[in-house]
Structure 1
Amino acid sequence: MTIKTFDAFSRLSFIDINRITNFLFENSGPFKDPKSGIRKSILYAAKEISGLGGYVFIIEDKNEILGAAVVNKTGMNEYLSENILVNIAVKEKSRRKGIAKRLIKHTITYCKGDIAIHINKDNPAILLFKKEGFKIKNIEMRLER
């Protein structure tokens, strides 16, 4: 199992974009984003929509996605992290086998600059991110309309 990396130069087909979108939506547990938001983050990373781009990382075994992560570049390094890890998920049957850890380590190695993640305060994955060096820095407050 190797990690495949996609960006604006190693293009994703629209079939792969749909496949990764569905994978992330189906395997993100109770803290998932809407499918349209997941797709948009992938399109942004692949520079299929206007923006700075980013990266999509997937781990497959025999053409079956076991884990995936999407990172978007922010272009805001003077006051926010240069990168945001927007989505990450591991197939339920493959959890607790080091796949999320490999994806996080690959993200840290591959991305230049700081990396942020917005994570629900009740998500148990916080412990994994802390083990990989992420620190709780800010509290997000949101006015939802």
Structure 2
Amino acid sequence: MTSQEQKKAGFITLKEASERFGYSPDYIGQLIRKGKLEGKQVYANVAWMTTPEAMEEYLAKEKRTGKGEKEKAAWTQERLMQTLLDRDGSRVLSYMLYVILVILSIALLVLFYFLSVALDHRMQERAKARLIENTPTISLTNGQAIPVTAQLPERELLFSALRI
């Protein structure tokens, strides 16, 4: 089918449709491919054509809904920016950030406390073990101080003998 035959059938090119109705040819082609607008592929599936009636139908339907796709996207982006930049929204956001900062600070302090207590306990246990190992005892036989290498129950007997 040649372009003359298509024009007789009422089809117009996307370029002509864009000039008449104010949309870009790419957008009109996208509407045709999505099925929102009546159209036809010509020239061995290279180009698209549509009818003025289909374009007018689409425009009437778009006016009934009140917003086009571009307007909907712009509205949601505008609403998002308005919410983020709104004074109340930014005030709530700043309060939330302060609360999160305080909670994290408290958590870090609690963690530091428990780690300090555990480290202190470990250091005390090591000091006690070293003290017991290096404590000299007095031998009852010759009166000299010698380190005790005996087992723990025997040490307790020696310490109890010294306390008497």
What TM-score do the two structures reach when normalised by structure 2?
0.21
What TM-score do the two structures reach when normalised by structure 1?
0.22
Larger Rg: 2
